[in-house]
Amino acid sequence: MLGIASAELVLFFLTLNTAVLAILAATAIAFAVGYIDDSRAMPGWFKPAALCAAALPIVLLHAHGDHLNLVFGSAFIPLLYIPLIFVIIPVVGNTINSIDVLNGVASGFIIISSIPLLAATAIFGSIEVFLAGLPLFFAAIAFFRYHKYPSRIFPGDSGALLLGVMYGALAIAGKSEIIGVVALIPAVLNSFLFLSSVKRIIEHRQVRSRPVVILDDNRLAASKDPSAPITLVRLIVSEGPLSEKETSNKIFKLAIISAILAFATIAIQYVMM
């Protein structure tokens, strides 16, 4: 957090762009929310509700537009867009947090997803917001070096929420919301599968039956318990047991496919401008 904050503050004082300050403030609030959740057991509703506070700097500093850039044009929704921000930030933050179940996945996923997002921000947003996104990308690369399998450090909720909320804030400030979502499709699918199977917002530690089990040889296998939540990892290992590294690599391959789709979305949107 300190490295990202230092880079963003330097950029803000050089450019005086309030969008940079809004991104930093949203990221700092997300880190604080995650730190609280790491420090004590909070109920399932805490993170989604508390992350609404991370959306406030984006709204108060007007680091957003009035148009939602769609694939085949844009929609002018000045009144609807503000409530949408209070949905996007908690959802993206918790989406990255939810996929942080294996060594290196959260940081690796952000590295891959950030590439099309940064490209879209440079094209549809501003150079200042693009530069504000570089600390996220390089911080994720530096973190992944120690987070990848076998992991020597773990992000916890504070790190995962920081990555997710900063990604969401960049997508909003960079006018690249749809592209940001396309790049996150596997993570979004994971959250959707989990929520649709448990049918309520709960913490992963509150789940009684785990979606995957660890075999004697340390490979991951899909749980045979019908009450176990459905997750992306459970689907991946449903065809047969895999090592944690093999499972992570399959998730990264899905992320790469989504990044390619995001670049295709950028091309279509650019042509339709």
Instruction: Look at residue 9 and tell me whether its pLDDT is greater than 80.
Output: yes
Q: Is 103 in contact with 109 (CB distance < 8 Å)?
A: no
pLDDT for the residue numbered 35: 87
pLDDT for the residue numbered 3: 79
pLDDT digits (tens, 9 = 90+) for 155-214: 888 889 999 999 999 999 999 989 999 999 999 999 888 877 766 666 666 667 788 888
Q: Is 251 in contact with 185 (CB distance < 8 Å)?
A: no
Cα separation, 21 vs 29, in Å, equals 12
- Candidates 20, 7, 106; CA nearest to 57 is 20
Residues in the chain, how many?
273
Q: pTM of the full predicted structure?
A: 0.90
Percent of the chain scoring above 90 in pLDDT: 45
pLDDT for the residue numbered 256: 97
Rounded to an integer, the average pLDDT of 132-144 is 93
Q: How confident is the model at residue 249 (pLDDT cuts 50, 70, 90)?
A: very high
Give the distance, in angstroms, between the CA of residue 242 and the centroid of all CA atoms in the same chain.
25
Rounded to an integer, the average pLDDT of 138-156 is 87
DSSP the chain: -HHHHHHHHHHHHHH--HHHHHHHHHHHHHHHHHHHHHHS---TTHHHHHTHHHHHHHHHTT-S-SEEEETTEEEE-HHHHHHHHHHHHHHHHHHHHHHTTSTTHHHHHHHHHHHHHHHHHHHHS-HHHHHHHHHHHHHHHHHHHHHSSSPS---HHHHHHHHHHHHHHHHHHTT-HHHHHHHTHHHHHHHHHHHHHH-S---GGG-SS-SEEE-TTS-EEE---TTSPP-HHHHHGGGS-B-HHHHHHHHHHHHHHHHHHHHHHHHHHHHT-
- Candidates 109, 102, 123; CA nearest to 187 is 109
Cα separation, 66 vs 121, in Å, equals 16
Q: Is 140 in contact with 83 (CB distance < 8 Å)?
A: no
Peptide bond into 78 cis (omega under 30): no
CA angle 182, 190, 32 (to 5 degrees): 85
Q: Is 132 in contact with 165 (CB distance < 8 Å)?
A: no
pLDDT for the residue numbered 27: 94
pLDDT for the residue numbered 200: 66
pLDDT digits (tens, 9 = 90+) for 68-106: 777 776 676 777 888 889 999 999 999 998 888 888 899
